[in-house]
A and B are shown apart, each in its own frame.
Chain A
Amino acid sequence: MNWYAVRAIYGFEMARFWRTALQSIVAPVIATSLYFVVFGAAIGSRVASVDGVAYGAFIVPGLMMLSLLTQSIANASFGIYFPRFAGTIYEILSAPVSPLEIVLGYVGAAASKSILIGLIILATAALFVPLRIEHPFVMVLFLLLTAVTFSLFGFLIGLWADGFEKLQLVPLLVVTPLTFLGGSFYAIEMLPPFWRAVSLANPVVYLISGFRWAFFGTSDVGVGISFAMALVFLALCLAGVTWIFRTGYRLKS
């Protein structure tokens, strides 16, 4: 293992994060605070509790997931796309580094950033609503799994994209709708039966459900199923990345 290379890539990516601290940290915090003002305070005060949890608190796991998904994808996709766009990827390709080391560096950094942002949002939320975390270990597990899985997914997008529009396309057209329809702001059982069935095809439902279970002990689907689904997504993303490095697709001509 070339650990110096992993450290170099990881350090490079984290330096970018701190350099753009304003947009990478402050922006999500402001966005989350706005959600709390609108959904938590304005609307939430008129909504009865969901599953015995005050609405303001109920949306916290979903909001964290929303940030976790978007930040993981944005950071990882930009991290690998930009060197491809600027041409500096030549150095990564000609260095004695294995695909595993490249992924560890880029995806590790993207996951670290989004976990950090998730925790900052959790801290921000604690200022607005009283929170409890019933299963802290499971909560950390889901946090890690989601951050790593979606950073891998973002890495895939960054490898696939051949323009800045495509870099935005998947997050905008696929991930944001899936997250909003994944039960960030409601319990799935609040939906009519048909849409409830449709929702079960949405991968994000399982992540949010499992994450919410870790907080409040209530969930839309069994936590075991959520965990299994999270592992399936992780495996799918790993397979995609492996395939790209095997074939050199979009990396080497």
Chain B
Amino acid sequence: MALLEVSDLHVEFDTYGGTVHAVRGVDFRLDEGQTLAIVGESGCGKSVTVQSFTGLIPMPPGRIVRGGATLRGHDILGGGRIDGKEVRGREIGMIFQDPMTSLNPTMTIGDQIAEPLQVHAGMKRRAAHARAVELLEMTRIPEPAKRAEQYPFEFSGGMLQRAMIAMALSCEPSVLIADEPTTALDVTIQAQILDLMVDLQRENGMAIALITHDLGVVARMADEVLVMYAGQVVERGSVDDVFYRSAHPYTLGLKAAMPTNQGEGEQDLQPIDGSPPDLFAPPVGCGYAARCPFAMEACQGQPPPVYGIREAADAYDHESRCWLHHEDCDIAAEGVHKGE
């Protein structure tokens, strides 16, 4: 049984301009100790996916139209409870994009870390505070006892993200959801935070769902990768499959948009032309058809099904949502891995 399983998730937002179909049928599963990366450009629905099943999007205007989310087989859709006990903070820890604004400015760091311990573990204030200092030490913050008495404005961005991690892990959750945890940090700090997450995962065996738009972060962290576009998963597979045997044209586009300056692989940035489709009225066919260099007639009118790419070399299925994988399609699409 999967640790965390999300199936057929559909999320909409009601706005003055109409209904935004932000997430249109996302499935994924996460096993213990595994790291799943969800990648895609801004607005593709990756944050909404994790924030909706954990109940963090404002409802209304947000709405989970259908779908399911289970943790060890228990239904938790919308951030529910298992055996009457809160899931968030206890079973699922979360960290967010901007640590500068994600902490309460008028509460000490120590108090904020101690809060879940008091609420979920029933610890007394003093004990929870002592544990908070240990947690700060675990995230390698120097002088943790002194730091616990300080307020967020006295911390740097990287330090705040460490404190956020300490807070998210305070109740030893089985899942850590990291929603673009390094986007707001500068590059050297990014590496430190990612290393810290990997080390902590090795120590306590938690699963990580990592949302990012940085393919470098994906390559470094992930076991399995989910590529999202226009509210749908367009390709999934092991990190090797997705990077070296990319099956969806959008994944190819993303890779081409990542410049490198290393040795023979040197490559300029090639942007993907156009912009993502309007999610007020999602296209009937493939969401990527308008920007895809290999688009065919079928792509406009028929939504492509998910094709399994058969020779997946490892434990993760390799799938792609693209008509190019249809058995009758004989277009030679350069770079697209068709399997067999």
Q: Indicate whether A and B interact.
A: no
